[in-house]
């Protein structure tokens, strides 16, 4: 497996060193694909770690946030039961849930802040 340093070096070389003639470094397609694969694996591992931490840290049910029935039903359909599971979502994740509109996302952000949880807002 490539180190993070090597991955960034490969990406830099692919995107920024094409026009340099003095230090032109040739990179094969396989190396680029391997670098991209390594980055994707790293992202997934980090998402998994964050999800596990958030779920373990806040096992309280989302209903204590005081959300509307519509919002609770959408979260229930998405199988989100705890505050930790809600916070583990990607910040753009709620946007794609069926029945979750701009106002619902804004209300969830508002309720999370009122509850005293400091986290980046979900994007609308």
Domain presence at residue 17: yes
pLDDT means over runs of 10, the chain (124 residues): 65 59 64 84 77 65 90 92 85 86 92 82 81
Looking at the fold, whether 71 and 100 belong to one and the same domain comes out as yes
Residue 34 lies in a domain: yes
Q: Are residues 63 and 110 in the same domain?
A: yes
* Cα–Cα distance, 116 to 18 (Å, whole number): 49
What is the model's pLDDT at position 24?
56
Listed in sequence order, the DSSP H helices in the chain are: 4-16, 29-57, 69-77, 83-87, 102-114
Q: How far is CA 72 from CA 66, 68, 84, in A?
A: 9, 6, 15
Domain-embedded: residue 65: yes
- Measured in residues, the chain has a length of 124
- 22 assigned to some structural domain: yes
pLDDT recorded at residue 93: 82
Neighbours of 81 (CB within 10 A): 16
The total domain count for the chain is 2
Inside any domain, residue 123 = no
In a domain, 23, yes or no: yes
pLDDT given at position 3: 64
| Structure tokens given for 75 | 């979260």
Give just the sign of the alpha carbon dihedral 86, 77, 70, 101.
positive
Domain containing residue 70: 58-114
User: Does some domain include residue 122?
Assistant: no
* Chain centre to alpha carbon of residue 66: 25
53 is a domain residue: no
Alpha-carbon Rg for the chain, nearest whole angstrom, is 20
Both 110 and 64 in one domain: the answer is yes
């Amino acid at each position: 497996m490539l180190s993070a340093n090597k991955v960034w070096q490969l990406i830099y070389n692919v995107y920024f060193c094409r026009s340099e003639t003095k230090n032109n470094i040739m990179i094969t397609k396989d190396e680029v694909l391997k670098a991209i694969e390594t980055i994707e694996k790293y992202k997934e591992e980090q998402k998994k770690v964050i999800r596990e931490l958030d779920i373990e840290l806040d096992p309280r049910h989302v209903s204590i946030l005081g959300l509307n029935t519509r919002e609770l039903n959408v979260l229930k359909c998405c199988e989100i039961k705890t505050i930790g599971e809600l916070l583990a979502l990607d910040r753009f994740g709620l946007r794609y849930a069926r029945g979750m509109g701009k106002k619902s996302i804004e209300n969830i952000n508002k309720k999370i802040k009122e509850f005293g949880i400091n986290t980046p807002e979900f994007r609308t």
